[in-house]
Amino acid sequence: MKQCLVVDDSTVIRKVARRILEDMGFEVVEAADGQQALDACLNKMPEAVLLDWNMPVMDGMEFLQKLRTLEAGAAPVVVFCTTENDMSHIVQAMNAGANEYIMKPFDKEIMEAKFQEVGLI
């Protein structure tokens, strides 16, 4: 079973994402900020990361940059999922090595479409 790490400081978002991702056949691991996510990745590298941008402790961008320097850190497919919905943020995220980008609010259809886009399902 593919593992998806859900990184978001909102428990509500994590819960919604978990439900959708489990329906899509993923095993879900949660993290509340970038640092927790990094620890989770060092413990076990997931196949996919659903990543919020603005979070306390370490934000999504910093996490992504650190992840990509890790050994095996190039492997996970990273899908940003954030309220930052302007072109400059999108460009910045993609340049930093994100694979897809979801602008909140999202729903099951968008999540499925985006995960399909990057070959995760």
Partner 1 sequence: MITSEYEFLRGFLKSRSGLVLSNEKQYLVESRLVPVARRHDLASLSELINSLRKPGTKQLQEDVVEAMTTNESFFFRDKTPFEHFKEEMLPKLLEKRAARKKIRIWCSAASTGQEPYSLAMILRENKIKTSSYQFDILGTDISKEVLDKARLGQYSQFEVQRGLPIQMLMKYFTQQGEIWQVSNDLRAMVQWKFLNLLENFSHLGEFDIVFCRNVLIYFDQPTKIDILNRLAKLIPADGYLVLGAAETVVGLTDQFEPVPHMRGLYRPKQSAGKQPEPQKMANSLKAEPISARPAVGKPHVPSFSSPATNTPATQNTMRTNSASAPDKPQKFDREKLNASLDSLRRLNAQSSNKG
What's the min distance (Å) between Cβ of 113 and partner 1? 5
Q: Interface residues with partner 1 (CB under 8 A)? A: 85-87, 90-91, 94, 100-103, 106, 109-110, 113-114, 116-117
Cα separation, 81 vs 104, whole angstroms:
6
CA dihedral 24, 4, 107, 99 (to 10 degrees): -110
Long-range contacts of 113-117 (CB under 8 A, 24+ apart): 114/79, 115/24, 115/48, 115/79
What's the min distance (Å) between Cβ of 23 and partner 1? 18
> Nearer to partner 1 by C-beta: 38 or 60?
60
What's the min distance (Å) between Cβ of 39 and partner 1? 28
Q: What is the 3-state secondary structure (H, E, C) of 52-63?
A: CCCCCCCCHHHH
> Nearer to partner 1 by C-beta: 54 or 83?
83
> Nearer to partner 1 by C-beta: 4 or 111?
111
